[in-house]
Amino acid sequence: MNRHLEHIRAIVQVQQTYAKTPLLTEECDLAQLVDDTLRIQYTSLQRHGITLTREFARLPRMWHDKHKVMQILVNLVANAKYAMDAMPEQQRHLLVRLTMDDGWARIQVTDSGVGLAPEILGKLFTHGFTTRKDGHGFGLHSSALAAKMLGGRLTLESEGTGKGTTATLEIPLMPEPRKPPPETRRKEPHVGPPSPEKDP
Ligand SMILES: Nc1ncnc2c1ncn2[C@@H]1O[C@H](COP(=O)(O)OP(=O)(O)OP(=O)(O)O)[C@@H](O)[C@H]1O
Ligand SMILES: [Mg+2]
């Protein structure tokens, strides 16, 4: 339970500062991470009468910023949940898939909700765009930025109004910690006697 509380605290913190926080990478099991996120939202999904299906492929451990991945997923699942509010209860299905392809991990959140009308497709990632009464229109904007910081991308597709939506987050498999670019790498402080060749 502590792990979940810690995640919730971290998500709230990250949501407050959006994607501006620097990357904090650690070794992670992506399936576990997606599972933890869904567990946090499960009660709410149940309350909305949504059935949840998970399809997780086996993925190697990788280095990523867990909280950024969670921040993105929380918003995708919340968006899916609201998109299904308009559907009759027996038609509210959420599918979360985790797959791997050519060096990329792919997380897909597919809902059976209202879908995306062609005229809103170009506005989805615009800061402040929302069609929800209580929405802010920050979720997809900040999630797309966070996906970019992770070296990946976020896309949404739908066959149209009433046809549901699939959100896809793709991030590189990243088997090792990411090295900062050379110009930002910190110089190690010099310890020991001054090296003669560097002295004037
Ligand atoms: N799965 C989805 N199905 C249908 N429409 C969606 C879906 N996801 C996003 N949208 C549309 O994109 C808009 C923007 O989503 P976004 O997450 O950026 O903001 P929001 O959910 O409205 O507010 P918040 O800032 O609280 O996340 C939504 O208001 C909705 O119109
Ligand atoms: Mg949202």
Residue 124 CA to residue 165 CA, distance in Å, equals: 12
Tokens of 6: 């810690």
- Ligand 2 centre and the CA of 34: distance in Å? 17
Whether the predicted pLDDT of 186 surpasses 70: no
- What's the predicted TM-score (pTM) here? 0.84
pLDDT, average across residues 20-45: 92
| pLDDT class of 94 with cuts at 50, 70, 90 | very high
Output the residue whose Cα is nearest ligand 1's atom 12. Answer: 124
Q: Which of 2-6, 68-72, 168-172 has the lowest mean pLDDT?
A: 2-6
Domains and CATH numbers, the chain: 2-177 (3.30.565.10)
Give the number of the atom of ligand 1 that is nearest the alpha carbon of residue 114: 4
Q: For position 195, what pLDDT does the model report?
A: 57
pLDDT, average across residues 5-20: 58
112-133 pLDDT per residue, tens: 999 999 999 999 999 999 999 9
State if residue 38 touches ligand 1 by the CB under 6 angstroms criterion. Answer: no
Output the residue whose Cα is nearest ligand 1's atom 7. Answer: 79
pLDDT, average across residues 142-155: 96
Output the residue whose Cα is nearest ligand 1's atom 31. Answer: 131
Whether the predicted pLDDT of 148 surpasses 60: yes
3-state secondary structure of 95: strand
pLDDT, average across residues 123-148: 96
Q: For position 2, what pLDDT does the model report?
A: 61
pLDDT, average across residues 88-102: 97
Average pLDDT, the chain: 88
State if residue 111 touches ligand 1 by the CB under 6 angstroms criterion. Answer: yes
98: left (phi > 0), else alpha (psi -120 to 50), else beta?
beta
Q: For position 200, what pLDDT does the model report?
A: 45
3-state secondary structure of 90: helix
State if residue 165 touches ligand 1 by the CB under 6 angstroms criterion. Answer: yes
| pLDDT class of 169 with cuts at 50, 70, 90 | very high
Tokens of 134: 């209580």
N-term to C-term CA, the chain: 60
Provide, rounded to the nearest whole percent, the portion of the chain with pLDDT above 70: 80
pLDDT, average across residues 66-72: 96
In a mutational test of the pocket of ligand 1, which residue from 41, 72, 79 has the highest number of ligand atoms less than 8 Å from its CB?
A: 79
- Ligand 1 centre and the CA of 187: distance in Å? 44
Residue 21 CA to residue 148 CA, distance in Å, equals: 13
Tokens of 68: 């950024």
Each residue of 178-188: b (16+ CB within 10 Å) or e? eeeeeeeeeee
